Amino acid sequence: MSNRIAFFADAADLRETFDLDESREVIFDPHYNIARGHHIPVLTEHEGVFSVERIRWGEGFEKKSTEPATSRDEDVVKLEKRANARAVIPISGFYIWKSRKKEDHPFFVRKIDNSLLYAAGFIFRDQAKDFPYAEMVITDSNTLIQPISESMPCILKEGLAKEWLRKNMSASELLDTANSQFLITDLTVHRVSKEINDLSKNEKSLIQPIPK
Averaged over successive runs of 10 residues, the pLDDT of the chain (212 residues) comes to: 84 86 68 93 93 87 48 73 93 85 80 93 84 90 88 91 93 84 87 92 94 76
26 sits in the region (left: phi over 0; alpha: psi -120 to 50; else beta) called beta
Let me know how many helices (H) and strands (E) the chain has, helices first. 4, 13
| Nearest alpha-carbon partner for 71 in 162, 122, 141 | 141
Fold of 4-94+114-183: hypothetical protein yedk fold (3.90.1680)
Output the pLDDT for position 151: 86
Output the pLDDT for position 64: 41
* Complete edge-to-edge strand list for the sheet that includes strand 31-35: 31-35, 4-7, 93-97, 106-111, 187-191
Torsion of CA 65, 35, 174, 44, to 10 degrees: 100
The structure's pTM equals 0.88
